[in-house]
Amino acid sequence: MVLAESEIATTPHVAVVSSPGMGHIIPLFEFARCLVTLHGLHVSFLNITTEASTAQMQLLHSPNLPSGLDVVDLPLVDLSTLVSKDALVLTRLSINVEQSFGCLKSVLLNLGKLNALVIDLFCTQAFDVCKELSIPVYSFCTTSAAFLAFSLYIPTMDREIEGEYVDLPEPVRLPGCSRVRIEDLLDQVRDRKNDEYKWYKYHVSRLPKAAGILVNTWEDLEPIALGAIRENPVYTEIPTPQIYPVGPLIKDIEPLTASDVDCLAWLDKQPTDSVIFIALGSGGTLSTQQLTEFAWGLELSGQRFIWVVRLPSDIACDMASFFCAGDGEAINDGREMEYLPEGFLERTKEVGLVVSSWAPQVAVLSHPSTGAFVSHCGWNSSLESVRCGVPMIGWPLYAEQRMNATMLMEDVGVLTKPVVEPGQKTIGRLEIERLMRTAIEGEEGKACRRKAKELKESAGKTLSIGGASYESLSHLAKQWKAY
């Protein structure tokens, strides 16, 4: 269902806004598309342009947007005197959103009557503006239900636990959910004295203000976490708004470049379920030492592979490309291959394909030759992998990715992880060799593949008419139309 221009003016109107960063932009934009094409709503997507990456701007200003989906660019703001050069990502994002929302009231008023505003986790400043305008606000959780349960519980932890969470003697016990290992705690809660923690607590503490929380997951993938949030007394007393699982919403396959076509043509020549795809998301890079060890381990394994290689970064934070996703000069200056072991490309040319900075991820994952995915375990990539029936090798780098990896391994059964020696930051080549062999040839890898293919079928059903996620979003769309 695509709206004709004559219908847009009288169609129920919803606005959507995301903080910068492709991990949030992509699912919220796909959500906006669904509201327009499947549920007949008019959607205005508010684009925070300050520090927006090239990839963000290209996606939101694609010439192929459906009629009824409008993108509204918010004016640029000056952060130079507000954010220090060494500010961490969440602090920078939060201040960016806060400043960009200086015009939010006037923008919303100019849009006319709005039935709802949908925000992501780091746009909670919108609650104050929308309360004044009597616009219901819904939060869209771009991560897992398990992470949502953790986030909702943070204010309670903050009141009840003294000292640092990382010093706790045992895992964090979430009510009704799996425990969170101390080593898996996301970066933003590892130091309660820094601005990252304060901003994170600020945003999650405001979740009860939402009229509802949409989650990019589905019932079969996370039944325990969803059940706990809905039914456990701790969460009902917070109080937690109504939960709407609407996933898995993943990015559509993108238009292919000439190099993308070559990549897929190479895949066409490989056996079914034989190729390991290695890509660490829009914001992930490896250190020089880890890049070298990975290359040696991959070569030793003898497995077929497609490897998306980026210029390594040896800074403390593994998010060097977070604010420049899609910026060719920032991510790829042509020197990536110089950091691979001498002779690696020649020795592996019969079994592997190395590509620079970018590959069409969904197209590769959906190809029958792809048998495993080395992933940073960002939630978008995790959903894409499961939606395509491909098991994962977890290589988490930052944010909640360590929590995702453990949950996908222990609770879902679609992922294997490297064994990391205590005190070591670099994973050695022999462990990488073992992981690659296990993923394609080992019984553990085969079991993960069977489970991933089961969930692929489940994901297709839940998104179809009559499926749980489709009906969850349909129910919400009907509420908005009646508002």
Neighbouring CB atoms inside 10 A of 190's CB total: 14
Q: Which two tokens stand for residue 413?
A: 């059964």
In the block, tokens 């970018």 appear at 358
The angle formed by the CA atoms of residues 19, 24 and 25, to the nearest 5 degrees, is 80
Q: How far is the C-alpha of 421 from the C-alpha of 459, rounded, in Å?
A: 36
Give the 3-state DSSP-derived string for 162-221, with helices as H, strands as E and coil as C: CCCHHHCCCCECCCCCCCECHHHCCHHHCCCCCHHHHHHHHHHHCHHHCCCEEECCCCCC
Close Cβ partners of 441 (under 8 Å, ≥ 6 residues apart)? none
Q: How far is the C-alpha of 119 from the C-alpha of 144, rounded, in Å?
A: 16
Active-site entry in 120, 260, 273, 318? 120
Q: How far is the C-alpha of 179 from the C-alpha of 68, rounded, in Å?
A: 43
End-to-end Cα spacing for the chain: 21
Residue 422 sits at φ, ψ, to 5 deg, of -55, 135
Q: How far is the C-alpha of 127 from the C-alpha of 134, rounded, in Å?
A: 10
Angle between helix 468-482 and helix 22-37 axes, rounded to 10 deg = 70
Give the type of residue at 404: N
The answer to whether 318 is a known catalytic residue is: no
Peptide bond into 396 cis (omega under 30): no
Burial tier of 447 (Cβ tally within 10 Å: 0-12, 13-18, 19+): middle
The answer to whether 252 is a known catalytic residue is: no
Q: How far is the C-alpha of 270 from the C-alpha of 331, rounded, in Å?
A: 29
Name residue 118's beta-bridge partners: 16, 138
Active-site entry in 24, 39, 367, 376? 24
Q: Which two tokens stand for residue 348?
A: 């592996």
Name residue 355's beta-bridge partners: 308
Peptide bond into 248 cis (omega under 30): yes
Q: Which two tokens stand for residue 122?
A: 């780091």
DSSP symbols for 249-286: --PPPPPP-HHHHHHHHHHHTSPTT-EEEEE--TT---
Burial tier of 72 (Cβ tally within 10 Å: 0-12, 13-18, 19+): middle
Angstrom CA distances, 455 to 390, 409, 414, 446, 452, stand at 10, 14, 9, 14, 5
Task: Tell me which residues are annotated as active site.
Answer: 24, 120
